[in-house]
């Protein structure tokens, strides 16, 4: 898949430095690590430019601790999402630097010497959307973005949002977390010229159907420049926002 | 059901003015008229305070004309909704006063001497929502309300709506017709202190699901004072708005 | 947004009473109060004519108490919906006047000297719909309406409803709370000439789908003058009913 | 499957009248007729007590004609549902007695000498429900029931239904066809002591979702004695009603 | 509503035996009893030919006991469905004759001297469908039917069902309770000439969606003579079956 | 991906027969052919053991003809599914051997000298399911299976199916095409010891929801040995059946 | 149903060895065993070639133990799926050989002297899909297949899967268990020439809707040779895979 | 809303250059243009950095031409999406420079002197996804991005995609258009370190439900860095991609 690496390998085969069998073996053993129940993708940092993240649901505290230890052996930071206190207790034994952020339901081992840059703005419609927004904010920060969270600026009191109109213009990318009817993403999308990542939350009741109502609202947004991630997927929104923020800071994209 | 009428009837039975058989007959022949395929409810004007309206889909032009003629014999005006040109042609032969409003897909025979009063404001998010909004506006006007229609003030360009902030405050009741994500109802609901009747439209595509997306948005509105009618039900919205507008103009409600 | 206020402000800027920077600042600091996790909208009483209400789910007792205290500092009454006993215990410490109404799952601080007026009639199809109906009734009463609740008049025993036919005619607005098949709203809508606010409840099982069945029934009502709020949204129904009841009592609507 | 027949066959095998191979063959050739694309179940009259019916959609006029001819060869009457004029033209050539009932979208060959008995009452909520109701009525009549159809007695004008209260009590079984919100079945179910077969129709728009709304309403009916058939399945409702009507007329059920 | 009663009343008014006010009052006080949170419909026995049944969910044990006591004061038997042990404990204090049937989740006070007659056959596809089937069987028996329950005859082992082919033919009406794919109703419907009441159960997992899969299967049954009640609605199925069984035993239906 | 090929290539690079650049190029040019709007996967015959098939919807007749001509240049047979007469006319010009099978909506160029073997049995519940079944049968035959189609053996007349009980046992794999309630797959699955591929069809109306009802039925089948393909996907069912039939005929699977 | 058996029986009736009554009785008493709440289908081993399996949900530990004991009396092995520790404790008392496999949530009594053969490959997209995959693997092994489980090879790190490309080619049949978006089945289906049984899992959150997202993905797979079982139905997938694996090993299918 | 503009205006009011009334008027007349049925938002170019785009469905050719002419008067380019030939004919009369791109269903007036830069890669799973992809590509190009479209690289032949692995790495942002099961977005997301905008298409049949299947697949993507727009919303995907591409080229984002 990585043509450069294949090219090098082939050159060394051609030069006799590497035998055919060794090359086959090398191509087979791409850098992920098999620890039985999971395959840790150390290669992802190279391929996708980001560290490994643990999604905790369905994993025992012991499994999370074991995966976490392996990741940290390779010198990366670590982010574990949807983590509860038991996960944290287990992980802390092997990773004393780990910190638990209950508002975002995340465990975090920060990368040393990382400088935060750019600006990702995370907005919530109501106070109940904060856990999802906090996961997004923490994720983006873990990946190197400078982040601000502004909560409770839903559209039913539009002046609360408009007060931040100036700040909205300054962000490289915005994350909007909203449940109930999810209309905030459209209004924000109409106010800014930068990408808006909308994350519907399962906050609400009745015909909100666990987040389906804001999901549909956001997908049908009449504002351009809005894209959507899964219900309650704060991590996905924060990841996407960090990717874009990085590009906005660095520039020099292909063909520029 | 109508205790006053039963009381009168009973008094006349008691006084010998009306025989038992006549009373039974009278109770049986409540004022609706059976013309075979339909039962015209002349009584509705008395009971519900409104005229008879014809919902045209599934009725032939001849049927619409026949029902219309009977209604007009009793001196009422007439409103036929979801009407097409064929319905109009058939109805016009027996009712030369009928006018066709293709924007609202309605046929109308106005009540003579009717004075429009109060203010119902009908808003649309986009231009494609106008047919539904026009049906609502025409219905409310037919029922005696003074109506204004403001179109294309969707939330993706919030300043277009805010320009009308003052006018919004002057309405007794507001109708908001919006498809796609339907967020306009929530924003309007947060700006005014009067009831908002939200009517989702089937305008949109993909995950709008023929109006389900704005329907859910409106049902989940985080603004108070918003109630919802069926998808594309401009008539229902206009009817409800006219009821409320009447009360706002007349006052003197029970217990006042 | 409020043209009058802007006009005043501009006049004072023009007259030199207010500096440009002060005016910018004033425009920025519209009257909501930021207490970190929530933005309390004191302005809503001015803008929407109603007090602040707390929706408790997803908020800790301490948060509810803190928000409640701030609201009451500004002299308003207070209504907290979907509240449980823990919310009440926390709130009571700072607000000794608060009372808990478990049937309606609400905490209430009544406004002093408030006179109830008009008539809002709240009907339920079954006894299981009472909690939602009680929330609607309490909300409307909190907002100044005189309210009556009639329960268990579902359509399967239509004579139970018809017994109240006379009383139905006297209300300015009716709230109908019904689960299972939700047919009560249509029957009531056909009997009265005033607006009916239908609130589907999640009472039922199987193909009731948590309130979807009565929601669809109500949206498809063949009776005119029926509008719908979200499943179990007793607050929304009561709020809407109080708005309309106020108008019916006061009258003098625009254009009258 | 038919123990009596197996018993007879076995007795004849035992008595040497029938060879083993013949018996195997007999068991294999149960009385249905294979005409290539369809297997006509002449046995159904014996097993289920009813004639063969053709469901026309997806069948060509020629296929309908061919199936119809075979059925009539065995002396039965014939009912073809969801038939259009082309089906009728084709069938008429081989069955000159066939009549077409466009209101019910059915082709009919009546059984000679059949006496109609009992009473099945078919009610519709609106005029647009008549085609489905007519299919139900025609089916029940074809199967020997005396049928009356009362249309346009939906719940939004409850007095139209109550006028027929006495007649409702006289039916052995009632069929209720209703679209939109489908509430009529519940009200009727509460008024009578006989079974109600509810058939939702696809009449309506928006959140009626092609008949899902009345289907859910009917399934969730709070009245007892209501069972439901598929959307627009007038045939199924009429068939069920005829079965029950027969039993009510004949009596002497098992264990009586 | 009951023309005979109105006629009598009017005759007595006409004859001076009853004053107008008394007549109004009589019409108003139809026989239901208002105990605040519920309206007990003693009239239902007259109107619908059946006793009052309590649906327990959402009612406290004390409420169930109170309603039960009132019903029994009028001399009826009693059936309480979806009852748990707490409901039973409360009810037993005032009704020592009450018995609890946990398999059917019902509390029962049998009517004295009731003779069971006819035959209702209740079938289940699997053993997990037994609770719903038992509710159906108990209900039908409470209403006077002789009932048999045959469980675990699902279509994946069709010979288990066919063994009962003879018995199936002897029932006046059959109830089929099935979850998962619900195919049993169609197969049974094809084997018998009597009505089949299909009750989908929420047994299953995954794409059974809490009973939606068997519900759709049953609604779409290709067999005639099948009608459907709500998911898990054993009571409704048993009630319907008893109605039909009664008619089959008694005969002499109208028009016979 | 194909280790053998990579191994060969590497050996030739190692031996100096192939330069590094040539090897990179070779790895890049895997055998699919890019004709602009489509990439024909000639490699699929090697990788998956089957020929290229054209799915016609959304492709113009000219595109189908162009793709078809390229496939046949490589000597394969050809199957085009969901084809209409226009597709056939266009394809026939370049492929005179092509034949059109309107019952299966397929265009076919048979492979020369192909011997059909094994036995795939394709069953339909009704006559309307035949087009989907015919597509399945033709696909399996095209891929080398001997196929029989038995139609109209739905479960409402179970004896029609049982007549074929012996033949069912002889198939290596069975395809069951059924719409409406789709119960046939479960019954067949309970009768045989070989795999059943169930294909729901969109035949039906109302709550069949375009094939959702039989899809759910089949997914929830209580019989083991049943797997499901997409609604109306006769091709997918036939392909799967042919794969299994091949294995049953050839045997000698790994580890045997 | 089993023609051979019927033929034998008839021959013995014909020869006087068996009386008619005995034959009727024999036909009636096909080999299932009725233990009241369940009908154990010992015949299934003969008819379908497989042992009896207990699906534990909805059954008490005592019921599972009782059914298990009866099955083992007939000398079969035993598999109980979706079993918890209580089921195991109860079953172990009567079946000391039973072993509990918590990863697969299964209880197992292996058949003595069984030789595993062929190759079934079970793949999972993530570690959370392992329980479903383990149920599939254990089921296939119980039925005689040699099984390998490869976990955590989801498509977001495609090189993890491609490393196993060679092994994928060696399986007779593959089971793919995947939640979230379920894309693994399509990629695997495109890489191999053998059947793929896809089993969606309920792993995921938000718009995964308890497994609906991967279910739809798998049904819509653009790869041929993929069929689907119910959400989380590891047993069904393993059963199907074992059936096919058996055929691949044995060969000699009909018509070969 | 635009603090800078308000600040200027206020300064001029303060300096006496602008009267209070003029300022109010200026604030009211933000730069959108009301042409009756639509409000053209010339301000959007300032506020959101992009030109006006016309969404044609529901607009007559004359309306499209009228809106188009107004937009071009202000010197902008123009993009009209979902346009048919009639829209083009009407628009061309007033805008001779307009060109029609039927593959993308768009009308285009290019901006003069615009230089394309960066790289947006648009991928399709199949040939039928090309119209949606072409709309995305054209939109991104209209907004200044250099775009490449690679079609027919769906996951069922994964080597077709992997051939482009190198090119994938060079894009600043990728758009993936896929119908049926939509798995391509996840695979691409796992291969690149740049944002992926996934656009589900309504291509497919049966359980694809008009694009719901790929929509859910994409929302549930196990790859990070994937966000989703509405079904068939090529415009939205292209707009979002252009926004991000611009940032990647320009860099210098806030806080950098």
Q: Return the bridge partners of A99, or none.
A: A108
Percent of chain H with pLDDT over 90: 47
Q: Which two tokens stand for residue C143?
A: 């907002």
Is the predicted pLDDT of residue C110 greater than 80, yes or no?
A: yes
Question: Are the CB atoms for E227 and D227 separated by under 8 Å?
Answer: yes
Is the predicted pLDDT of residue B216 greater than 90, yes or no?
A: yes
Residue that wins the pLDDT comparison between E139 and C47: E139
Q: What is d(CA D230, CA D121) in angstroms, rounded to the nearest whole number? A: 19
Q: What's residue F40's pLDDT?
A: 57
Provide the mean pLDDT of chain C.
83
Question: Are the CB atoms for G186 and F236 separated by under 8 Å?
Answer: no
Residue that wins the pLDDT comparison between F253 and E122: E122
Mention every residue, 6+ apart, whose C-beta is less than 8 A from residue C96: none
**With an 8 Å Cβ cutoff, are A181 and B208 in contact?**
no
Question: Are the CB atoms for E186 and F157 separated by under 8 Å?
Answer: no
For the purposes of burial, counting CB atoms within 10 Å of the CB of H101, is it exposed (0-12), middle (13-18) or buried (19 or more)?
A: middle
Please state, as a whole number, how many other Cβ atoms lie within 10 Å of the Cβ of residue B101. Answer: 15
Is the predicted pLDDT of residue A67 greater than 90, yes or no?
A: no
Chain E residues within 8 A of C160 when measuring between CB atoms: 30, 32, 39, 41
Angle between helix C234-250 and B234-250 (nearest 10): 40
pLDDT band per the 50, 70, 90 thresholds, residue E209: confident
Å between H220 CA and nearest CA of chain G: 5
Question: Are the CB atoms for A88 and A113 separated by under 8 Å?
Answer: no
ipTM of the assembly?
0.82
Angle between helix E3-14 and B3-14 (nearest 10): 50
Q: For B117-133, write each residue's pLDDT tens digit.
A: 999 999 999 888 999 99
Q: Which A residues 85-144 touch C at CB under 8 Å? A: 127-128, 130
Chain D residues within 8 A of C182 when measuring between CB atoms: 181, 183, 217, 220
Å between B147 CA and nearest CA of chain H: 16
Q: What is d(CA E154, CA E183) in angstroms, rounded to the nearest whole number? A: 8
Cα H41 versus chain centre, distance: 16
pTM above 0.90, yes or no: no
Can you tell me whether residue F244 is helix, strand or coil? helix
Please indicate whether chains F and H are in contact, defined as at least 3 beta carbon pairs under 8 Å.
Answer: yes
Q: Which two tokens stand for residue E81?
A: 């469905």
B with H: how many residue pairs have Cβ under 8 Å apart?
Answer: 55
Picking from A9, A20, A25, A26 by the largest number of F CB atoms within 10 A of its own CB, the best residue to mutate is A20
Q: What is d(CA H114, CA H231) in angstroms, rounded to the nearest whole number? A: 30
Q: What is d(CA D220, CA C184) in angstroms, rounded to the nearest whole number? A: 13
Kindly state the helix (H) or strand (E) to which residue H73 belongs, with its residue range: helix H61-73
Q: What is d(CA F49, CA F47) in angstroms, rounded to the nearest whole number? A: 6
- Tell me what the mean pLDDT of segment H68-86 comes to: 87
CA distances from E224 to C54, D48, E190 (A): 54, 9, 7
Provide the mean pLDDT of chain E.
83
Helices (H), chain B: 3-14, 20-28, 43-48, 61-73, 85-94, 130-142, 158-162, 165-170, 184-191, 212-219, 234-250
Chain D residues within 8 A of E185 when measuring between CB atoms: none
Question: Are the CB atoms for H155 and H183 separated by under 8 Å?
Answer: yes
Q: What's residue F45's pLDDT?
A: 41
Q: What's residue F30's pLDDT?
A: 40
Q: What's residue H159's pLDDT?
A: 79
Cβ of residue F233 closer than 8 Å to a chain H Cβ:
yes
Q: What's residue H49's pLDDT?
A: 42
Chain C residues within 8 A of A127 when measuring between CB atoms: 37-38, 58-59, 63
Chain E residues within 8 A of C203 when measuring between CB atoms: 58
Look up residue D111 and give its DSSP letter.
P
Nearest chain C residue to H9, by CA: C20
Q: What's residue C23's pLDDT?
A: 60
From E126, E191, E223, residue closest to F222, measured CB to CB: E126
From D152, D207, D208, residue closest to B38, measured CB to CB: D152
Q: What is d(CA D160, CA B30) in angstroms, rounded to the nearest whole number? A: 8
Is the predicted pLDDT of residue E43 greater than 60, yes or no?
A: no
**With an 8 Å Cβ cutoff, are D222 and C181 in contact?**
yes
Most confident of the ranges D27-36, E6-15, H244-253: H244-253
Parallel, antiparallel, or unpaired for β D53-55 and D78-81?
parallel
Q: Which of A2-11, B52-61, B165-174, G191-200 is predicted with the least confidence, judged by mean pLDDT?
A: A2-11
Cβ of residue A155 closer than 8 Å to a chain F Cβ:
no
Q: What's residue C197's pLDDT?
A: 97
Chain C residues within 8 A of E41 when measuring between CB atoms: 157, 160
pLDDT band per the 50, 70, 90 thresholds, residue G52: confident
User: Which of A66, A149, A58 lies closest to A101 in space, CA to CA?
Assistant: A149
From G171, G195, G230, residue closest to F219, measured CB to CB: G230
Å between H116 CA and nearest CA of chain A: 9
Q: For A103-126, write each residue's pLDDT tens digit.
A: 999 999 988 788 999 999 999 998
Please state, as a whole number, how many other Cβ atoms lie within 10 Å of the Cβ of residue F9. Answer: 20
Chains that touch B (3 or more CB pairs under 8 A): A, C, D, E, H
Q: What's residue E16's pLDDT?
A: 72
Chains that touch D (3 or more CB pairs under 8 A): B, C, E, F, G
Q: Which two tokens stand for residue C5?
A: 């206020």
Cβ of residue E11 closer than 8 Å to a chain B Cβ:
yes
Picking from A244, A245, A246, A252 by the largest number of H CB atoms within 10 A of its own CB, the best residue to mutate is A244
Q: Which of A243-252, D246-255, F77-86 is predicted with the least confidence, judged by mean pLDDT?
A: D246-255
Please indicate whether chains D and E are in contact, defined as at least 3 beta carbon pairs under 8 Å.
Answer: yes
Look up residue B110 and give its DSSP letter.
P
Percent of chain B with pLDDT over 90: 48
Sign, CA torsion B132/B133/B136/B137: negative
Picking from H2, H43, H230 by the largest number of B CB atoms within 10 A of its own CB, the best residue to mutate is H230
Chain D residues within 8 A of F207 when measuring between CB atoms: 211-212, 215, 230-231
Q: For H144-188, write each residue's pLDDT tens digit.
A: 999 999 998 988 888 788 888 888 989 999 999 999 878 999 999
DSSP string, H28-73: H--S-EE-SS-EE-THHHHHHSS--EEE-TTS-HHHHHHHHHHHHH
Kindly state the helix (H) or strand (E) to which residue E4 belongs, with its residue range: helix E3-14
Please state, as a whole number, how many other Cβ atoms lie within 10 Å of the Cβ of residue H97. Answer: 12
Residue that wins the pLDDT comparison between D26 and H155: H155
Residue that wins the pLDDT comparison between F48 and C100: C100
Please state, as a whole number, how many other Cβ atoms lie within 10 Å of the Cβ of residue D75. Answer: 11
Mention every residue, 6+ apart, whose C-beta is less than 8 A from residue F217: E181, E182, E183, E213, E216, E217, F181, F182, F183, F185, F186, F200
Question: Are the CB atoms for C27 and C9 separated by under 8 Å?
Answer: yes
Picking from G20, G26, G30 by the largest number of D CB atoms within 10 A of its own CB, the best residue to mutate is G20
Q: Which C residues 192-211 touch B at CB under 8 Å? A: 192-195, 197
Question: Are the CB atoms for G16 and G29 separated by under 8 Å?
Answer: no
Kindly state the helix (H) or strand (E) to which residue H88 belongs, with its residue range: helix H85-94
Query: Which phi and psi angles does D152 have, rounded to 5°?
Result: 65, 45
Is the predicted pLDDT of residue G120 greater than 90, yes or no?
A: yes
Q: What is d(CA H155, CA H177) in angstroms, rounded to the nearest whole number? A: 12
Q: What is d(CA E83, CA E87) in angstroms, rounded to the nearest whole number? A: 6
Q: What is d(CA G215, CA G26) in angstroms, rounded to the nearest whole number? A: 44
pLDDT in tens, chain F (256 residues): 344 555 566 667 667 777 665 665 555 434 445 555 656 554 444 444 445 788 888 888 998 998 888 888 876 689 999 999 999 999 999 888 899 999 999 999 988 788 999 999 999 998 889 999 999 999 999 999 999 999 989 888 787 888 787 889 899 999 999 998 789 999 999 888 899 999 999 988 888 888 999 999 999 987 889 999 999 999 999 999 999 999 999 887 665 4
Please state, as a whole number, how many other Cβ atoms lie within 10 Å of the Cβ of residue F229. Answer: 31
Å between B189 CA and nearest CA of chain A: 7
From F130, F160, F206, residue closest to D37, measured CB to CB: F130
Residue that wins the pLDDT comparison between G37 and F142: F142
Picking from D150, D163, D201, D207 by the largest number of B CB atoms within 10 A of its own CB, the best residue to mutate is D207
Helices (H), C60-211: 61-73, 85-94, 130-142, 158-162, 165-170, 184-191
Q: For E49-100, write each residue's pLDDT tens digit.
A: 445 788 888 888 998 998 888 888 876 689 999 999 999 999 999 888 899 9
């Amino acid at each position: 898949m990585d043509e450069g690496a294949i090219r090098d390998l082939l050159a060394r085969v051609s030069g006799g430095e590497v035998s055919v069998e060794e090359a086959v073996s090398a191509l087979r053993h791409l850098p992920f690590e098999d620890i039985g129940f999971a395959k840790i993708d150390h290669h992802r940092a190279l391929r996708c430019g980001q560290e490994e993240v643990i999604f905790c649901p369905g994993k025992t505290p012991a499994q999370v601790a074991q995966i976490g230890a392996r990741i940290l052996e390779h010198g990366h930071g670590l982010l574990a999402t949807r983590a509860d206190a038991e996960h944290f207790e287990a992980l802390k034994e092997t990773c004393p630097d780990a910190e638990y952020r209950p508002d975002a339901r995340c465990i975090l081992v920060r990368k040393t010497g990382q400088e935060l840059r750019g600006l990702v703005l995370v907005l919530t419609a109501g106070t109940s959307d904060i856990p999802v927004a906090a996961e997004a904010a923490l994720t983006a920060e873990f990946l190197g973005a400078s982040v601000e969270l502004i909560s409770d600026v839903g559209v039913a009191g539009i002046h609360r949002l408009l007060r931040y109109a100036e700040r909205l213009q300054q962000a490289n990318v915005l994350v909007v977390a909203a449940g109930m009817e999810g209309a905030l993403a459209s209004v924000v999308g109409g106010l800014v010229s930068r990408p808006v990542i909308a994350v519907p939350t399962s906050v609400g009741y009745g015909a909100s159907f666990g987040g389906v109502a804001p999901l549909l609202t956001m997908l049908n947004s009449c504002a351009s420049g809005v894209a959507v991630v899964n219900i309650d997927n704060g991590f996905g929104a924060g990841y996407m926002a960090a990717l874009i923020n990085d590009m906005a800071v660095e520039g020099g994209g292909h063909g520029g």
